[in-house]
Amino acid sequence: MKAFTTIVPGHTNWSQKNKMKELFNEYVKSIETYIMFQIKQETARLTPELEAKGRSPIALAMGAPVAPPPELVYQKLIEALKIPQIHTYSTPKGENFYLEAIAKRMKNRFGVELDTKTEIFSLIGSKEGLANFIRALINPTTTDSEKDIILVPDPGYASYTQIIKTNGGKSCGIPLNKENKYMPDMNKVWQQLQNDGINTNKVKAMIINYPSNPLGATCSLEYLKHIVDFCKEKQIWLISDAAYCDIYFEENKRPHSVLEIEGAKDIAVEFYSFSKPYSMTGFRLGWVCGNADAINAFGRLKSTIDTGLFKALQKCAAEIINSKEGDDYIKQANLNFKNKQNIVVKGFRELGWEIKDEDIPDATFYIWLPIPPRYKTSQEFTQDLLKTSGIVVVPGSAFGNNGEGYFRLSAVSTDEHLQEVIDRMKKDGFHF
Ligand SMILES: Cc1ncc(COP(=O)(O)O)c(C=O)c1O
């Protein structure tokens, strides 16, 4: 520890510093800062220049709604802060009232029964939960042929592949495209992996994410059944990331929980977040539920890493999740997201993008569009958009091999900012 403190900038020479850097593990040495923070840094660097030419950055990269959380959250949080002993450690699993509130929500929203003692665990946001669950699965190795494999959606949430890599595993993409309606036949995917020389005996789990980041795609209950059957047959864990399950636009297309499928609990766990539905990204609150053995293994690991969520946060989360205010908030937020989607779709159509009605997402606040053909890569396009117009979006390549040629825009900003994006693009000569 003492040696570590000597490497702060200005307290060491280069040779010492390089030697110290070598002490980090191979996985950490091989990754870069997470894409969203790279984009943030780059935006901060360019901000003075952009402001000087009247192009202050408009952030449409992160999936972080700008609207404030429900008023009830603050009210309950303030009340909770006054409860005696609220400041003390919670447990990693979560307080009983938190777990009970989640069980009630899962029952009311999906008809899923959960045992609060064995089938639910609190999370410091679903990103943390996914990272630790993956860590609990992978036997780390630097030898490629021995690496455990986790199947991930491609394109998919950038964090999956990074987490798998930093834990000494390998990710293989499940190709999602218009042709397979973003619901590929997993038997064909498995066959293709074998044809590509992948040792499928090393596959330990697959991740699904419906509604999807970055595509906004949803899936049917029948498809979830196919996935459950497939994972059971192959004896692999199913990790369902349901972070966007409450952000949808039509009642008859309401996203499902994988746990609604009979027998899914034999092989599945599902991850949930307060971040997106209640605009509580900074609160860092979530939960995982499903198979008791998986929750137990995960819980043992997590209990050595953190000591759970601040009890006051659990209090306000438990209150909002089964309240009328919470449900009304989600309904209104979804109307607002739909309106934002309309502004963006209309604007990009005017700019020459061909967006068919059937390609407009039924869920999430993401818009996934092709880059104009004159650009060679998605990065080249997003850099140009940032440097010329101060519009911050994410290159499709960040989401996997199948993401190249596209970019993702988060329609989470104010309506005025979204309109400003379209106006700036028109003025600055951007078109498809
Ligand atoms: C698909 C997906 N899963 C999980 C997360 C993590 O959300 P949080 O850690 O805020 O719960 C995100 C965040 O953008 C996401 O897009």
- CATH number of the domain bearing residue 193: 3.40.640.10
Taking the C-alpha atoms of residue 389 and residue 369, their distance in angstroms, rounded to an integer, is 18
Residues 262 and 285 in one domain: yes
Q: Is 326 in the pocket of ligand 1 (CB under 6 A)?
A: no
Same domain, yes or no, for 386 and 238? no
Assess contact for 258 and 268: CB atoms under 8 A.
Answer: yes
Do β-strands 394-395 and 406-410 pair in parallel, antiparallel, or remain unpaired? antiparallel
Angle, CA 17 vertex, CA 12 and CA 19 arms, to 5°:
135
Give 363-398 pLDDT, tens digit per residue: 999 999 999 999 999 999 999 999 999 999 999 999
Query: Average of pLDDT values for 267-277?
Result: 98
**Is residue 15 assigned to a domain?**
no
Distance from the alpha carbon of residue 14 to the mean position of ligand 1, in angstroms: 38
Q: Residues 223, 108: one domain?
A: yes
Residues 351 and 221 in one domain: no
Sorted by sequence, the CB contacts under 8 Å of residue 276 that are 6+ apart come out as 63, 65, 243, 244, 246, 247, 365
Q: How far is the CA of 398 from the centre of ligand 1 (A)?
A: 15
Final residue belonging to a domain, choices 260, 289, 323? 323
**Per-residue confidence at 16, pLDDT binned at 50, 70, 90?**
low
Query: In terms of residue numbers, what domain contains 43?
Result: 26-67+327-427
Phi and psi torsions of 421, nearest 5°:
-60, -50
The answer to whether position 3 is within a domain reads no
**338, amino acid identity:** K
Tell me if 75 is assigned to some domain: no
When pLDDT is averaged across residues 84-98 and rounded to a whole number, the result is 97
Name the band, by pLDDT with cuts 50, 70 and 90, for residue 10: very low
303, 323, 343: which is the final residue of a domain? 323
pLDDT digits (tens, 9 = 90+) for 205-217: 999 999 999 999 9
Task: Specify the pairing of strand 366-370 against strand 406-410.
Answer: antiparallel
pLDDT tier at 18, thresholds 50, 70, 90: confident
Q: Is the CB of 275 under 6 A from ligand 1?
A: yes
Cβ–ligand 1 contact at 171 (below 6 Å)? no
Same domain, 63 and 112: no
- Per the CB < 8 A criterion, the answer to whether 303 and 90 are in contact is no
Mutate to test the pocket of ligand 1, among 60, 126, 160 (most ligand atoms within 8 A of CB): 126
Last residue of a domain, one of 283, 307, 323: 323
User: What confidence tier does 21 reach under pLDDT thresholds 50, 70, 90?
Assistant: confident
Q: Are residues 92 and 54 in the same domain?
A: no
Asked whether residue 303 is assigned to any structural domain, the reply reads: yes
Burial label for 6, CB within 10 Å (0-12, 13-18, 19+), is: exposed
Say whether both 422 and 290 belong to one domain.
no
36 shares its domain with 110: no
**Which CA distances in Å does 214 have to 217, 227, 309, 373, 379?**
8, 20, 28, 20, 16
Is the confidence at residue 244, as pLDDT, over 60? yes
399 Cα–ligand 1 center, Å? 13
- What tens digit of pLDDT does each residue of 148-200 get? 999 999 999 999 999 999 999 999 999 999 999 999 999 999 999 999 999 99
Interatomic CA distance for residues 251 and 254, integer angstroms: 5
Note the pLDDT tens digit of each residue in 321-375.
Answer: 999 999 999 999 999 999 999 999 999 999 999 999 999 999 999 999 999 999 9
Inside any domain, residue 7: no
Q: How confident is the model at residue 139 (pLDDT cuts 50, 70, 90)?
A: very high
Indicate if the pLDDT at residue 1 is higher than 50. no
Q: What is the pLDDT of residue 19?
A: 85
Q: How many domains are there within the chain?
A: 2
Indicate if 294 and 391 belong to the same structural domain: no
Q: Is residue 16 part of a domain?
A: no
271/408 same-domain check: no
Residues 46 and 162 in one domain: no
For the Cβ of 212 lying below 6 angstroms from any atom of ligand 1, the answer is: no
Q: How far is the CA of 380 from the centre of ligand 1 (A)?
A: 26
- CA of 352 from ligand 1 middle (Å) equals 31
pLDDT per residue as tens digits for the range 56-67: 999 999 999 999
Q: Contact, 235 vs 204, CB < 8 A?
A: no
In a domain, 5, yes or no: no
The pTM score is 0.94
Tell whether 77 is covered by a domain. no
Closest approach atom of ligand 1 to CA 274? 11
Q: For residue 5, is pLDDT > 70?
A: no
160 and 280 together in one domain: yes
